[in-house]
Amino acid sequence: MKVTINYKFDNVNNYVNKCRTNYFYANKTKQKETELSRLAFTRIPKIEKYPIELVFTWYIKSKTADLDGKLPKNIIDGLVRAKKIPDDNVKYIQKITHIYKESKDDYVDVEIKYIKGD
């Protein structure tokens, strides 16, 4: 199951700078990104089989983007707030993968995959 979120999420460096300068501004960004994610996940059914893997495919415009700085936290929190998974601990999410692709727009695809047991 895949969800596309058409939004350029903050990276770690920007978020840390916001936290250092104004806690309330940083919190506002987190709340906005979590809510955007929650709304995107309302279109999918509740996840019934666990554990899952989340595959984030980050489409980015800049060839000089800081690839290790992408933050999936607000997106995962949106998945929980949308009540699609009960929690974001390792009982439910056991693998997170990041893929980066160049694009004319910044956005992210989130693919949810069931991890079959041993």
92: domain CATH number is: 3.30.1330
Structural domain range at position 35: 2-114
Q: For strand 52-60 and strand 93-102, is the pairing parallel, antiparallel, or unpaired?
A: parallel
The pLDDT score that the predictor gives to residue 63 is 75
The pLDDT score that the predictor gives to residue 118 is 58
User: In the chain, how many domains are there?
Assistant: 1
Mean pLDDT by runs of 10 across the 118 residues of the chain is 95 80 82 97 97 97 78 96 98 96 95 89
The pLDDT score that the predictor gives to residue 65 is 76
The pTM (predicted TM-score) of the whole model is: 0.91
**What is the number of H-type helices and E-type strands within the chain?**
3, 4
3-state helix, strand, coil in the chain (%, to 5): 35, 30, 35
The pLDDT score that the predictor gives to residue 25 is 78
Give whole-number Cα distances, 116 to 1, 30, 51, 52, in Å: 15, 32, 8, 9
